[in-house]
Amino acid sequence: MKKARGTLQQRAHQRIKEYILNTGFYPGQHIRHVEVSRALGMSRTPAREAMQRLVEEGLVVHLPNRGYFVTEMTAREAEELYELREILEVFCVQQAIHKSSTKQLGGLRQLLDVYKDSTNGRVTRQTLLVDRDFHLRIAQLAGNDMVYKLLVSVLDKIIMKRNIERIAPLDAKTGFKRHAIILKAIENRDEREAVQQIREHIRRGKIRVLEQVNKKNEFWLGEAADDVRSVPV
């Protein structure tokens, strides 16, 4: 009975997590778990338990008497996520070079074509998800389940907490070009080039995210200063 309940909770957690990722909830947005449970056709209890698990994972926050909200990324969290991401993805690229078959790399190239199509026009949450899938496919080729699951967690946090409106279409196109270079290096079994390219790709991504976080912090500081100046003395 306990195992069945645990399986139900796991399914509810995964479905709600995917729902939040795929429906474009943005950082700071209120998530009404009752509406989410209704949209997914599940009862409120497993939905509430799934939301609590997302709180424990740092993806959402629960405020008493207010409800659940998508967590906003801090500069420190961005630094830590991208440092961990670099370690994981360098390992995955190295392993994929030695373990992947030509057929498997053909599948990765097809995924790259899908990503190229997603970069036409403005950047959406779907663009980021296709980007994520490219990196996760490389992780699958590495053949380490623990590393794969950890990378899923890292990438999902980055995507859910990133402000899409501040991502320029040019950034997505630049990302596609870098992906193409990384894939070419893997196909050529050029470990040195592949590692160099994945490092640069992730470090540039970290710079972009930190710029977004810092700009938002500057905005809030400016708002606070205006409020202080408006107080009569």
Q: Quick check: is 196 in a domain? A: yes
pLDDT for 217 equals 58
pLDDT-derived band at 121 (thresholds 50, 70, 90) equals confident
Q: Is the pLDDT of residue 64 over 60?
A: yes
Both 171 and 92 in one domain: the answer is yes
Query: Which one of 37, 70, 103 terminates a domain?
Result: 70
CATH at residue 90: 1.20.120.530
pLDDT band at 201 (very low <50, low <70, confident <90, very high): very high
Same domain, 41 and 121: no
One domain for residues 57 and 103:
no
Tell me what pLDDT residue 23 has. 77
State the CATH number of the domain containing residue 16.
1.10.10.10
Together in a domain, 114 and 156: yes
Please give the residue range of the domain that contains residue 37. 2-70
79 and 66 share one domain:
no
pLDDT tens, residue by residue, 6-43: 577 788 888 888 888 887 788 888 988 888 888 888 88
Q: How much is the pLDDT for 193?
A: 98
Same domain, 85 and 200: yes
Q: What is the pTM of this model?
A: 0.84
Position 231 in a domain? no
Domains held by the chain: number: 2
Q: What is the mean pLDDT of residues 165-172?
A: 79
* Residue 223, pLDDT score: 43
**Does 156 share its domain with 111?**
yes
Q: Are the CB atoms for 14 and 46 separated by under 8 Å?
A: no
Q: Which two tokens stand for residue 85?
A: 């991401």
Domain boundary among 22, 47, 70: 70
Query: How far is residue 115 from each of residues 15, 96, 165, 195, 217, measured CA to CA in Å?
Result: 23, 20, 19, 21, 31
